[in-house]
């Protein structure tokens, strides 16, 4: 699904990612952990193709295709979804209408016609039922006055509707409360399948009590310095990052 080879990237001439290698297969959930400032959000942004991030070296492959040269929108259309840490408010645009537009934009980019209204309604109903989202929520103005939990619910709903191949959830700085964590985790657990993959970026082991990752990677100073299974996350929770820094001589 995703293969990253020797990725070096910089922001404002400052080198941040210094040789990332990562392979995520369909059906897998990978967690990326690491101390603040280690480059986790940068990695997410670079995979999603956000502007301002310069790839200096290396390749990002999505289903075997090099996507280095594609912009964020093109990557989104190919099935890369990055959660928003700071979602925008769009007064007067309902959650439903926003989703309809997003879906039809994606279809347009693929040369498809707009989704017929009845099909759209069916999709919205199906996904909102799966995620236990009520009708009232769907008619609310996008992100306007949303609580932290509601923002997360909206984000997960977007993910459900768009059915990404690769979902990247960057939860590091969002100060999730337990409700919001459960919403994200339930959503991810319900949406994951053998045909998609999820990369969860988190600073806290907590989230991984609910989303059980197949692999855990530790990012330190722009490099993945250790990989393991969910036990590694528990070890980090208990021991912090210092022992890893010593182990790798950082
Ligand atoms: P993490 O998500 O692991 O906390 P980040 O990827 O946000 O780490 O940041 C890694 C480093 O890159 C930090 O030193 C941060 O200050 C720097 N950085 C990230 N984004 C920018 C930016 N837009 N402009 C300048 N420096 C940035
Ligand atoms: Mg940070
Ligand atoms: Mg971050």
Ligand 1 centre to CA of 118 (Å) is 44
Nearest CA residue ID for atom 15, ligand 1: 37
Query: Do 201 and 41 touch, CB atoms closer than 8 A?
Result: yes
Residue 194 maps to a domain:
yes
Q: Is the Cβ atom of 40 under 6 angstroms away from ligand 1? A: yes
Ligand 3 centre to CA of 32 (Å) is 11
Residue 99 maps to a domain:
no
d(CA 72, CA 166): 13
d(CA 164, CA 192): 10
When pLDDT is cut at 50, 70 and 90, the band that residue 87 belongs to is low
Nearest CA residue ID for atom 13, ligand 1: 37
Q: What is the mean pLDDT of residues 162-172?
A: 88
How confident is the model at residue 161, as a pLDDT? 92
Is 60 exceeded by the pLDDT of residue 173?
Answer: no
Ligand 2 centre to CA of 56 (Å) is 22
d(CA 181, CA 23): 26
Ligand 1 centre to CA of 14 (Å) is 9
Query: Do 221 and 8 touch, CB atoms closer than 8 A?
Result: no
Q: Is the Cβ atom of 240 under 6 angstroms away from ligand 1? A: no
Residue 111 maps to a domain:
no
Stretch among 18-22, 105-109, 145-149, 211-215 having the lowest mean pLDDT: 145-149
Residue 141 three-state SS: strand
When pLDDT is cut at 50, 70 and 90, the band that residue 202 belongs to is confident
Q: Is the Cβ atom of 222 under 6 angstroms away from ligand 1? A: no
Ligand at minimal distance from the CA of 39 is 1
Range of the domain at 76: 2-92+166-248
When pLDDT is cut at 50, 70 and 90, the band that residue 178 belongs to is confident
d(CA 25, CA 23): 6
d(CA 183, CA 156): 8
How confident is the model at residue 2, as a pLDDT? 98
Residue 82 maps to a domain:
yes
Residue 145 maps to a domain:
no
Q: Kindly give the number of the ligand 1 atom that is closest to the alpha carbon of 219.
A: 3
Residue 21 maps to a domain:
yes
Instruction: Enter the ipTM.
Output: 0.93
DSSP string across 49-118: T-TTEEEEEEEEEETTEE-TT--HHHHHHTTEEE--SSPPPEEEEEHHHHHHHHHHHHHHHTTPPPPPHH
When pLDDT is cut at 50, 70 and 90, the band that residue 195 belongs to is very high
Residue 187 maps to a domain:
yes
What residues have CB less than 8 Å from 112, skipping those under 6 apart?
Answer: none
When pLDDT is cut at 50, 70 and 90, the band that residue 91 belongs to is confident
Q: How far is CA 156 from the centre of its chain?
A: 10
Q: Is the Cβ atom of 51 under 6 angstroms away from ligand 1? A: no
When pLDDT is cut at 50, 70 and 90, the band that residue 152 belongs to is confident
Nearest CA residue ID for atom 19, ligand 1: 42
pLDDT digits (tens, 9 = 90+) for 46-56: 999 999 999 99
Q: What is the mean pLDDT of residues 138-163?
A: 87
When pLDDT is cut at 50, 70 and 90, the band that residue 70 belongs to is very high
Q: Kindly give the number of the ligand 1 atom that is closest to the alpha carbon of 172.
A: 2
Q: Is the Cβ atom of 173 under 6 angstroms away from ligand 1? A: no
Please count the structural domains in the chain.
Answer: 1
Q: How open is the CA angle 91-50-106, to the nearest 5 degrees? A: 60
How confident is the model at residue 85, as a pLDDT? 55
Residue 144 maps to a domain:
no
E strand residue ranges, the chain:
2-11, 14-24, 29-33, 53-62, 65-66, 80-82, 90-94, 141-142, 166-170, 197-201, 215-220, 223-228
Q: Tell me the backbone φ, ψ of residue 28, rounded to 5 degrees.
A: -95, 150
Express as a percent the part of the chain with pLDDT over 70. Answer: 96
How confident is the model at residue 218, as a pLDDT? 96
Nearest CA residue ID for atom 18, ligand 1: 11
Ligand at minimal distance from the CA of 37 is 1
**What is the domain-level CATH number for residue 69?**
3.40.50.300
Is 90 exceeded by the pLDDT of residue 142?
Answer: no
């Amino acid at each position: 699904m995703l293969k990253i080879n020797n990725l070096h990237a910089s922001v404002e001439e400052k080198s941040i990612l210094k040789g990332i290698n990562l392979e995520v297969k369909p059906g897998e959930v990978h967690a990326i952990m690491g101390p603040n400032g280690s480059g986790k959000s940068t990695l997410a942004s670079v995979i999603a193709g956000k502007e301002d991030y310069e790839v200096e070296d290396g390749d990002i492959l999505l289903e075997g295709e090099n996507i280095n040269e594609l912009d964020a929108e093109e990557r989104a259309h190919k099935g890369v979804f990055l959660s928003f840490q700071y979602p925008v408010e769009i007064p007067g645009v309902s959650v439903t209408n926003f989703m309809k537009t997003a879906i039809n934009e994606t279809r347009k980019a693929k040369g498809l016609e707009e989704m017929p209204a009845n099909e759209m309604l069916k999709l919205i109903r199906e996904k909102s039922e799966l995620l236990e989202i009520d009708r009232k929520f769907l008619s609310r103005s996008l992100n306007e006055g949303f609580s932290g939990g509601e923002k997360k619910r909206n984000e997960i709903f977007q993910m459900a509707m768009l059915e990404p191949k690769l979902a990247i959830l960057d939860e590091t700085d969002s100060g999730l409360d337990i409700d919001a964590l459960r919403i994200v985790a339930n959503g991810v657990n319900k949406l994951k399948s053998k045909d998609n993959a999820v990369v969860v970026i988190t600073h806290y082991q907590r989230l991984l009590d609910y989303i059980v990752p197949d692999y855990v990677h530790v990012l330190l100073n722009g490099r993945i310095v250790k990989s393991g299974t969910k036990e590694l996350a528990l070890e980090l929770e208990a021991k912090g990052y210092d022992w890893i820094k010593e182990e790798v001589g950082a």
